[in-house]
Structure 1
Amino acid sequence: MQIAPEAAEQHTLAVLVDNEPGILARIAGLFTARGYNIESLTVSEITQDKAVSRITIVTSASPSVMEQIIAQLDRLVPVHKVVDLTTQGDHVERELAMVKVAGTGDHRIEALRLAEVYRARVIDATTGSFVFEVTGGRGKIDKFIELMGELGLVEVARTGIVAIARGREAV
C-alpha cells in the first residue's frame, strides 16, 4: 500500500529578529536553498529603539515540512522567536493594496461605486484615473482587483500580509 503525500497548507509565520543588516537575506536564503516558496513577506521595526523587527512570512507546506521550516528559522542566531500563527489559534490578517484604474464615463462611475462597496478610499484622482487604497483579507483584495480589471485596471501595488494573534498575549 502506498502512503499518500501530506497536503500543503498555507501558514502565516511571525518571526522576531534582531534588526541587523543581512537578516532578511539569510531568511530568504534559507527558504530558497530548501526549495520553499514565500507567498508573502513583510518586515518592519517593532521596538522603540529599533533593535527588533517582525517578519511576517506566508508560505505553503505540509505539516512535517512546516516543522522543519520553523526549526531551521529558530536556529538562525539573530532570531528571537518563531510563531506559526496558523496553528497557534485565532489571529487577524490584513493586506493593503493601491489600485490604479483609468477610465471615463460609465467605467469611472462604476469604479467609484465598487470602491464604495469594498470600502476602498480614493487617494489620488485625475480627470482620467483614480488610485484606490483598499485593505482587508487577501480574498477581498483579489476580488476588488478582478473587478477593476474589467473597468480599466492599470497597475497594482500590494504590501503583503501582516498578521497578529488575537487576545492579550504577545508573540
Structure 2
Amino acid sequence: MSKPAARFEPLALAVLTVSDTRTPETDTSGDLLVARLKEAGHTLQARQIVKDDIYQLRKVVSDWIADDRIQGIVTTGGTGFSGRDSTPEALAPLFDKTIEGFGELFRQVSVEDIGSSTIQSRCLAGLANRTVIFCLPGSNNACATGWDRIIVEQLDARHRPCNFVAQVRR
C-alpha cells in the first residue's frame, strides 16, 4: 500500500533584512522574499531590518527562535566579505544543527548567474529550537535564486523525498 500524498502545510515565517542602509521603502530583497513566501502559501509572522551588527542580529533572531509562533526565518544580507558582513558569525552559533548542503547547493546553482563570484557567498542555513533558518545574500537576484531553486521546495511538505516541514515546531 502506498503512502498517501502529503498536503501543503502553510508555515509562519519571519524575514530579516541585514543592512546598514536599507529602509522599509528601499528593502527590495525583503519585499521579494515576502512576496515569494506569500505566493507559496505561507504567512508572514514578523519582518524587520537590522543593522549589520553581530549582537543586534543575534538578539532579533534569538527572539524569533524562542517565539513559538515562528517556524522559519529567512534573512537577506550580510553574507559577503565586506568589512561589516557578519551574518554567518552572528547566526551560526545559534544553530543546533547546520544544514551544510544549503550553502553548497546555493553556490552550485548561483554559478549559472554569477560565475566564479559565487565563492564569495557565505550563505548558510540551520535549525535552532525547531526553527529552520536560511541566510541569503542581499541582492534581489540571490534572494530569488535561493527561494525559487531551494527554499520553496524545502518548506513544502509535498516535496519528496524530504523537506524541512517535519523538522519545524508545530
Q: Fold conserved (TM > 0.5)?
A: no
Q: Which has the larger radius of gyration?
A: 1
**Larger helix percent:** 2
**Larger strand percent:** 1
Q: TM-score, normalised by structure 1?
A: 0.29
